[in-house]
């Protein structure tokens, strides 16, 4: 099936079988391999992207459901000159990543979290990150990164 949507601000069209998940359309058809597959039960959040401005686990959505949607992946977060989004910069500043595999999903969730909960406390941030699993960092520096990113996004 032909799916037409906007990905990272550009029109995209993919021809995929109807049972194709959005994450596979992004990774295998558009070669946007920054979005990762970490599980098969929609638990880990490594595949989180934004669809029409909301964080979505792209393994829990068919590509055809994205028809006409605006999709943003981790590759679309930095500006055209490569300057990182404040949340990406905060993850680097706070050492909020180690192996980097969960990181794109974490960043996408964190941006959504801060848009919708600009005043979330540390405890609330921990709860709101419940849908993203990281095995490396012990979360402490991810939480700090979200706090720093939260401030930076508020000031932006």
Binding site for another protein (CB under 8 A): 17, 27, 31-41, 43-44, 46, 73-75, 77-78, 82, 84, 88, 91-93, 95, 97-104, 107, 122-123, 125-127, 129-130, 132-143
Nearest residue (CB) to another protein, 44 versus 68: 44
C-alpha closest to that of 13 among 2, 24, 28, 27: 2
Query: Which region, left, alpha or beta, applies to residue 83 given φ > 0 means left and ψ of -120 to 50 means alpha?
Result: beta
Q: Least distance from C-beta 133 to another protein, angstroms?
A: 5
Q: Residue 4 CB, nearest distance to another protein (Å)?
A: 22
Output 55 or 77, the one with its CB closest to another protein: 77
**Cα 4 to Cα 90: distance, rounded to the nearest angstrom:** 33
How many CA atoms lie within 13 Å of 72's alpha carbon, on the beta-carbon side?
16
Residue number with CB closer to another protein (52 or 83): 83
**Shortest Å, Cβ 29 to another protein:** 12
Complex with another protein: residue 21 or 68, whichever CB lies closer: 21
- The SS3 of residue 14 is strand
Cα 69-76-150 angle, rounded to 5 deg = 100
Task: Provide, rounded to whole angstroms, the least separation between the CB of residue 89 and another protein.
Answer: 8
Tally helices (H) and strands (E) across the chain.
5, 5
SS (H, E, C) 70-83: EEECHHHCCCCCCC
Task: State in angstroms the smallest separation of the CB of 81 from another protein.
Answer: 12
Residue placing its CB nearer to another protein in the complex, 60 or 136 = 136
């Amino acid at each position: 099936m032909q799916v037409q949507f906007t990905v990272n601000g550009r029109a995209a069209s993919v021809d995929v079988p109807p049972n194709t998940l959005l994450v596979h359309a992004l990774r295998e058809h558009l070669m946007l391999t920054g979005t990762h597959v970490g599980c098969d039960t929609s638990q880990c959040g490594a595949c989180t992207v934004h669809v029409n401005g909301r964080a979505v686990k792209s393994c829990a959505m068919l590509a055809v459901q994205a028809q006409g949607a605006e999709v943003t992946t981790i590759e679309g977060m930095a500006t055209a000159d490569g300057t990182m989004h404040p949340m990406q910069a905060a993850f680097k500043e706070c050492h909020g990543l180690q192996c980097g595999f969960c990181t794109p999903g974490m960043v996408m969730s964190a941006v959504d979290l801060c848009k919708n909960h600009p005043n979330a406390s540390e405890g609330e941030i921990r709860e709101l990150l419940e849908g993203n699993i990281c095995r490396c960092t012990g979360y402490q520096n991810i939480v700090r990164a979200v706090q720093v990113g939260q401030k930076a996004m508020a000031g932006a």
